[in-house]
Amino acid sequence: MRVAIAADHGGFQLKKEIIECLRADGFEYKDFGTYSEESVDYPDLALAVAEAVKAGDYDRGIICCGTGIGVSLAANKVPGIRAALCHDTFSARCAREHNDANILTLGQRVIGAGLAAEIVRIWLNTVFAGGRHARRVEKIAQIEAKYNK
- Pick the catalytic residue from 64, 65, 86, 94: 65
Q: What confidence tens digit (pLDDT) does each residue in 78-128 have? A: 999 999 999 999 999 999 999 999 999 999 999 999 999 999 999 999 999
Given a cut of 90, is residue 148 above it in pLDDT? no
pTM comes to 0.97
> What pLDDT does residue 149 have?
78
For residue 86, indicate whether it is catalytic.
no
> What pLDDT does residue 97 have?
98
Q: Does the annotation list 23 as a binding residue?
A: no
Residue 89 amino acid letter: T
Backbone angles phi, psi at 22, to 5 degrees: -60, -45
For residue 133, indicate whether it is catalytic.
no
Q: Does the annotation list 132 as a binding residue?
A: yes
Which of 100, 131, 25, 90 is CA-nearest to residue 3? 25
**How many CB atoms neighbour CB 29 within 10 A?**
19
Superfamily of domain 2-147: Sugar-phosphate isomerase, RpiB/LacA/LacB (3.40.1400.10)
The full set of domain ranges for the chain reads 2-147
Distances from the Cα of 119 to the Cα of 86, 91, 100, 133, 143, angstroms: 8, 9, 15, 21, 28
